[in-house]
Amino acid sequence: MIYLDNSATTCVFESAAEIMRKQMTEQYFNASATYAAALQNERLYLEAKKSIANSLKCSQNEVFFNSGGTEGANTALFGAISASNDRKHIVISAIEHPAVYDTALALKSRGCSVSIAPVNKDGTVDANVLASLVTSQTAIVSIMHINNEIGSINNLSELSKAVKSVNPATLFHSDGVQAYMHIPCDVIACGVDIYSVSAHKIHGSKGMGAMFIKEGTPMKPLIYGGGQQDNMRSGTLNMPGIAGMRAAVDTLSSMQDLMPKLSDIKNAYIEELKQIAECLIIGDPSKTAPHIFNIAFKGIQAQVLQNALEEQGVIVGKGAACSSRTNKISRVLKELEIQADYAAGAIRISLGAFNTLDEVKPATQIIKDTVLRLRKFKRR
Amino acid sequence: MHNLLYTNTIIVKVGEIHLKGQNRPFFERTLIKNMRAALQAFDKITIEKSQSRIFVYNIAPERLNEAVECLRKVFGIHALSPAREMEKDLDVLSSAAIEMLKLSGKTSGTFRVNACRGDKRFPIESPEIAAIIGGNILEELNGLKVDLKKPDHTVEIEIREHAYVYVEDVSAVGGMPVGTNGRAALLLSGGIDSPVAGYMIAKRGVALDAVHFYSFPHTSERAKEKVIQLTKLLAPYTGNISLFVVPFTKIQELIYEKCPDAMLTIIMRRFMMRIAEKIATDRHCGALITGESIGQVASQTMEGLQATDNAVSMPVFRPVIGMDKQEIMDYAIKIGTYETSILPYEDCCTVFTPRHPATHPILEHVIDAEQVLEVEALIDEAVANTERIDINR
Using pLDDT thresholds of 50, 70 and 90, give the confidence band for residue B5: low
What is the DSSP code string of B64-119? HHHHHHHHHTSTTEEEEEEEEEE-S-HHHHHHHHHHHHHHTT--SEEEEEEEEE--
**Residue at which a domain ends, from A222, A238, A254:** A254
Cα-only R_g, chain A: 21
Using pLDDT thresholds of 50, 70 and 90, give the confidence band for residue A246: very high
Verify that B29 and B100 share a domain, yes or no: yes
Verify that A264 and A170 share a domain, yes or no: no
pLDDT for residue B2 is more than 70: no
Nearest alpha-carbon partner for A290 in A260, A256, A257, A318: A260
Mean pLDDT of chain B: 93
Q: What is the CATH number of the domain that holds A338?
A: 3.90.1150.10
pLDDT for residue B3 is more than 80: no
Mean pLDDT of chain A: 95
Q: What is the CATH number of the domain that holds B145?
A: 3.30.2130.30
Instruction: Looking at the complex, report in whole angstroms how far the Cα of residue A305 sits from the nearest Cα belonging to chain B.
Output: 7
* Interchain proximity B216–A311, CB inside 8 Å: yes
Nearest alpha-carbon partner for A153 in A129, A181, A122: A122
Q: Provide, as residue numbers in chain A, all residues whose Cβ is less than 8 Å from the Cβ of B348.
A: 301, 303-304, 307, 327
* Interchain proximity A303–B220, CB inside 8 Å: yes
For residue A370, what pLDDT is reported? 98
Using pLDDT thresholds of 50, 70 and 90, give the confidence band for residue B292: very high
* Interchain proximity A379–B344, CB inside 8 Å: no
Catalytic residue among A11, A58, A190, A322: A322
Domain holding A273, by residue range, is 2-9+256-375
Q: What is the pLDDT of residues B6-59, one digit of tens each?
A: 778 999 999 777 677 788 889 999 999 999 999 999 988 999 998 778 999 999
Using pLDDT thresholds of 50, 70 and 90, give the confidence band for residue A323: very low
pLDDT for residue B134 is more than 90: yes
Verify that A245 and A262 share a domain, yes or no: no
pLDDT for residue A321 is more than 60: no
pLDDT for residue A18 is more than 80: yes
**Residue at which a domain ends, from B109, B142, B173:** B173
Q: Active-site residue A322, yes or no?
A: yes
**A307 in any annotated domain:** yes
Q: What is the pLDDT of residues B303-340, one digit of tens each?
A: 999 999 999 999 999 999 999 999 999 999 999 999 99
Domain holding B378, by residue range, is 183-391
Compare all CA atoms of chain A with the CA of B220 and give the residue at the minimum distance: A307
Instruction: Looking at the complex, report in whole angstroms how far the Cα of residue A331 sits from the nearest Cα belonging to chain B.
Output: 18
Q: At what angle do helices B24-38 and B64-72 cross, to 10 degrees?
A: 130
Q: Provide, as residue numbers in chain B, all residues whose Cβ is less than 8 Å from the Cβ of A380.
A: 261, 354-355
Verify that A204 and A313 share a domain, yes or no: no
Share of residues in chain B with pLDDT > 90 (%): 82
Instruction: Looking at the complex, report in whole angstroms how far the Cα of residue B106 sits from the nearest Cα belonging to chain A.
Output: 43
Using pLDDT thresholds of 50, 70 and 90, give the confidence band for residue B294: very high
Instruction: List all residues 6 or more positions away from B107 whose beta carbon is below 8 Å from its beta carbon.
Output: B101, B141, B143, B144
What's the whole-number mean pLDDT along residues A81-110? Answer: 96
Using pLDDT thresholds of 50, 70 and 90, give the confidence band for residue A96: very high
Verify that A198 and A87 share a domain, yes or no: yes
Verify that B77 and B197 share a domain, yes or no: no
* Interchain proximity B217–A327, CB inside 8 Å: no
For residue A309, what pLDDT is reported? 97
Q: Provide, as residue numbers in chain A, all residues whose Cβ is less than 8 Å from the Cβ of B357.
A: none
Verify that A311 and A225 share a domain, yes or no: no
Q: What is the pLDDT of residues B248-282, one digit of tens each?
A: 999 999 999 999 999 999 999 999 999 999 999 99
* Interchain proximity A304–B218, CB inside 8 Å: yes
Relative to beta strand B163-166, strand B170-174 is unpaired
Nearest to A377 among B219, B220, B351 (CB): B351
**A212 in any annotated domain:** yes
Verify that B195 and B343 share a domain, yes or no: yes
Q: What is the CATH number of the domain that holds B367?
A: 3.40.50.620
Verify that B210 and B250 share a domain, yes or no: yes
Provide the domain count of chain B.
2
**B75 in any annotated domain:** yes
Question: The pTM is what?
Answer: 0.86
Mutant choice from A300, A303, A326 vs B, greatest count of B C-beta within 10 A? A303
